[in-house]
Amino acid sequence: MTGRVDSVDSVDATGAVDAVEYDVVVVGAGPVGENVADGARTAGLSVAVVESELIGGECSYWACMPSKALLRPVTARADARRVPGLRQSVQGPLDVPAVLAHRDSYASHWKDDGQVDWLESVGAHIYRGQGRLAGPKQVTVEGPGGERHTLTARHAVAVCTGTRAVVPGLPGAVDAKPWTSREATSAQQVPGRLVVVGGGVVGVEMATAWQALGSQVTVLVRGEGLLAKMEPFAGELVAEGLAEAGATVRTGVSVASVERDGGTGPVTVVLKDGERIEADEILFATGRAPRTDDIGLETVGLTAGDWLDVDDSCLVRGSDWLYGVGDVNHRALMTHQGKYQARIAGAAIATRAQGEPLATGPWGEHAATADHAAVPQVVFTDPEAAAVGLSLAEAEAAGRRVRAVDYDLASVAGSGLYADGYRGRARMVVDLDREIVIGATFVGPAVGELLHSATVAVTGEVPLDRLWHAVPAYPTISEVWLRLLETYRAEAAKK
């Protein structure tokens, strides 16, 4: 583990190819790639990072940061309207220019100077351009000015290219120049009418934001409800919140085609039953695909465009040098999980570079076990929805002997103090054989702050008889934990 960088060939002014060797080459400089690079550099390895767009990636400029910056004023106003003595002061519309300016600030105005400074400060070498595998441990980079580099990795190449939004292959969809998550989080004007196709996290969050900013939003969902991967009541309560805000939520409908002359002007959405809906913009929030179609996977025996199949150290199966970290491996498509995987992968790369075995002890430094059992997620709508671990349906499908324990969050003392008319619901899923919590879901204003306690309980496999002694402060919404445990004990006593 030398940490050295060797120049094998030099570059001349004509754009000839240069060749440089590093310990680790990271393709993709979003939060995941940055963390892999940081972990490798901390261990003393030399690192090259290749990025074709902005250093900082999707999360910083078109996802987590701008979307939450748009949503925070929405949920803050909604909360304030439920507080006596304050509600009359916040009945007016949001200051749209101020909200968009706040969003722009959190997206660093789509400039990556700060991220570049940080990555360089840890000692990583940045290469701008399209990176492609060119055989085992080799990556070629085609720079924006036509310059070319060949990077060789002594120990590992980490693919951290993430995902891209998918526009379905419906007639007219691509030609209509629809919004994807990128346009929805970076738009500089509020559309008068917005059709959102899809009822997942991106769909409901962007519907919440743009409805509050002045759009008339219509959400079209092919299935029977929103947030289909969460407990059913989560989607139901979020749908109620959208409807109360003035949005239209329609389930069980399918889009057949999209019409828009020249990709400008009004857009017409044609449903399968022939109904036509006119809007100013259409957002497709219908899924993600891995950004692996143009990174040279075929040169190492893999299929371009596929997800990368990895083990718990994020090593691509069948390889001893190629890692797939973050969304690209399809384990858990969330920034915090990708960064968690990056910490695991960075440590595993360094350990293998030293010729040492991976750690299998209680800390599990080299195994991303949270991806299997304890993935936390917050949906920043009004109300919020937060979940970790297995839903009841998932636990039953896995053959676990379980019981769901539900509680009305409005009956917790802290919720009434938080807001008049507080509405929400909590559920914990209990493994009856081990008497531990294997899943938890909360829906209601501000419940995202409850989620880490649930994540600790699930990850730590805390026995219920010990969790009983984790006393929640009064009067807070977290008292719901006591009520859930009381309900479980009472139900168990009746059996």
CATH number at residue 222: 3.50.50.60
The single-letter code of the amino acid at 26 is V
Residues listed for the chain = 495
Pick the last residue of a domain from 285, 313, 335.
Answer: 285
Contact (CB, 8 A) for 206 and 231: no
Pick the last residue of a domain from 268, 285, 302.
Answer: 285
Per-residue pLDDT of the chain (495 residues; tens, 9 = 90+): 345 555 443 343 344 567 899 999 999 999 999 999 999 999 999 999 999 999 999 999 999 999 999 999 999 999 999 999 999 999 999 999 999 999 999 999 999 999 999 999 999 999 999 999 999 999 999 999 999 999 999 999 999 999 999 999 999 999 999 999 999 999 999 999 999 999 999 999 999 999 999 999 999 999 999 999 999 999 999 999 999 999 999 999 999 999 998 878 999 999 999 999 999 999 999 999 999 999 999 999 999 999 999 999 999 999 999 999 999 999 999 999 999 999 999 999 999 999 988 876 556 679 999 999 899 999 999 999 999 999 999 999 999 999 999 999 999 999 999 999 999 999 999 999 999 999 999 999 999 999 999 999 999 999 999 999 999 999 999 999 999 999 999 988 887
Q: Which domain holds residue 391?
A: 383-494
What pLDDT was estimated at residue 362? 56
Q: Is residue 305 part of a domain?
A: yes
Backbone angles phi, psi at 28, to 5 degrees: 110, 120
Please give the C-alpha separations between residue 120 and each of 86, 113, 127, 132, 189, in angstroms, as whole numbers. Answer: 47, 11, 11, 22, 35
Same domain, residue pair 456 and 397: yes
Same domain, residue pair 124 and 209: no
Q: Is residue 63 part of a domain?
A: no
What pLDDT was estimated at residue 10? 35
Q: Is residue 89 part of a domain?
A: no
Backbone angles phi, psi at 412, to 5 degrees: -90, 135
Same domain, residue pair 156 and 265: no
Same domain, residue pair 302 and 413: no
What pLDDT was estimated at residue 361? 59
The per-residue b/e assignment along 288-310, b for 16 or more CB within 10 angstroms, e otherwise, is bebbbeebbbeebebeeeebbeb
What pLDDT was estimated at residue 493? 86
Same domain, residue pair 425 and 444: yes
Same domain, residue pair 13 and 141: yes
Q: Is residue 419 part of a domain?
A: yes
Same domain, residue pair 470 and 347: no
Contact (CB, 8 A) for 437 and 464: yes
Q: Can you tell me the distance from the alpha carbon of 193 to that of 266, in angstroms, rounded to the nearest whole number?
A: 9
Q: Can you tell me the distance from the alpha carbon of 283 to that of 181, in angstroms, rounded to the nearest whole number?
A: 8
Q: Is residue 362 part of a domain?
A: yes
What pLDDT was estimated at residue 357? 86
Q: Is residue 297 part of a domain?
A: yes
What pLDDT was estimated at residue 364? 63
177: alpha, beta or left? (left if phi > 0; alpha if psi -120 to 50):
left
Q: Is residue 98 part of a domain?
A: no
Please give the C-alpha separations between residue 156 and each of 40, 139, 307, 312, 374, in angstroms, as whole numbers. Answer: 10, 11, 19, 16, 28
Same domain, residue pair 10 and 153: yes
Pick the last residue of a domain from 253, 285, 317.
Answer: 285
Q: Can you tell me the distance from the alpha carbon of 96 to that of 269, in angstroms, rounded to the nearest whole number?
A: 27
Same domain, residue pair 259 and 402: no
Same domain, residue pair 35 and 123: yes
For the chain, counts of helices (H) and of strands (E): 15, 22
What pLDDT was estimated at residue 358? 86
Q: Structurally, how many domains does the chain consist of?
A: 3
Beta-strand (E) ranges in 395-457?
402-408, 425-431, 436-444
Q: Is residue 100 part of a domain?
A: no
Eight-class DSSP state of 46? -
Beta-strand (E) ranges in 239-320?
248-251, 255-259, 267-271, 276-279, 281-284, 288-290
Q: What is the pTM of this model?
A: 0.94
What pLDDT was estimated at residue 16? 52
What pLDDT was estimated at residue 365? 77
- Residue 325's Cβ-side half-sphere holds a number of Cα atoms within 13 Å equal to 39
Same domain, residue pair 249 and 391: no
Q: Can you tell me the distance from the alpha carbon of 108 to that of 102, in angstroms, rounded to the nearest whole number?
A: 10
272: alpha, beta or left? (left if phi > 0; alpha if psi -120 to 50):
alpha
Same domain, residue pair 242 and 314: no
Q: Which of 283, 290, 286, 296 is nearest to 309 (CA)?
A: 290
Provide, for the chain, the percentages of residues in helix, strand and coil under a 3-state DSSP scheme, each rounded to the nearest 5: 35, 25, 40
